[in-house]
Amino acid sequence: MKITADAGLPPRGTPKNYLSAWLLVMLKRSHLHGYEIMKELREEFGIACDPGTLYRTLRQLEGNALIASHWDAHDQGPARRVYELTDRGRDALERWNVTLHEYRLNLDAFFRVYSAGGSAG
């Protein structure tokens, strides 16, 4: 059996599967275009995401009818694709909320055990 150097270690940064949840909750708050989403993820939530991953995830969410997009033409500059949450996306966001709440309870239990100290050995 091959053992990798990071076997058993936590992932670096935010796991990709949480990106969908972040996008849905951000689009619940307001309609945003891609650059605004990247900027908000980084500046407000400390989440670094490369553009390719972001736009792939947005396309996937749109393909599953969780978000919708339209072109918004401005007087200055190019038109931008603006994303918004759909009713189906609101339902998915509610499921994320329940799932992440349960996950947080599990994490709280982990930190209680960790903080309680003690040593085995």
Over residues 56-110, the pLDDT tens digits come to: 999 999 999 999 999 998 778 888 999 999 999 999 999 999 998 998 999 999 9
Residue 77: HSE in the Cβ half-sphere, 13 Å Cα cutoff: 6
Predicted local distance difference test score (pLDDT) of residue 39: 96
Model pLDDT, residue 17? 74
- 92 within domain boundaries: yes
In CATH, what number is assigned to the domain containing residue 84? 1.10.10.10
Q: What is the pLDDT of residue 74?
A: 76
Six token digits for residue 32: 């945003």
Q: What is the pLDDT of residues 25-42, one digit of tens each?
A: 999 999 999 999 999 999
Domain extent, residue 91, equals 17-115
Total number of domains in the chain: 1
| Residue 1 counted as domain residue | no
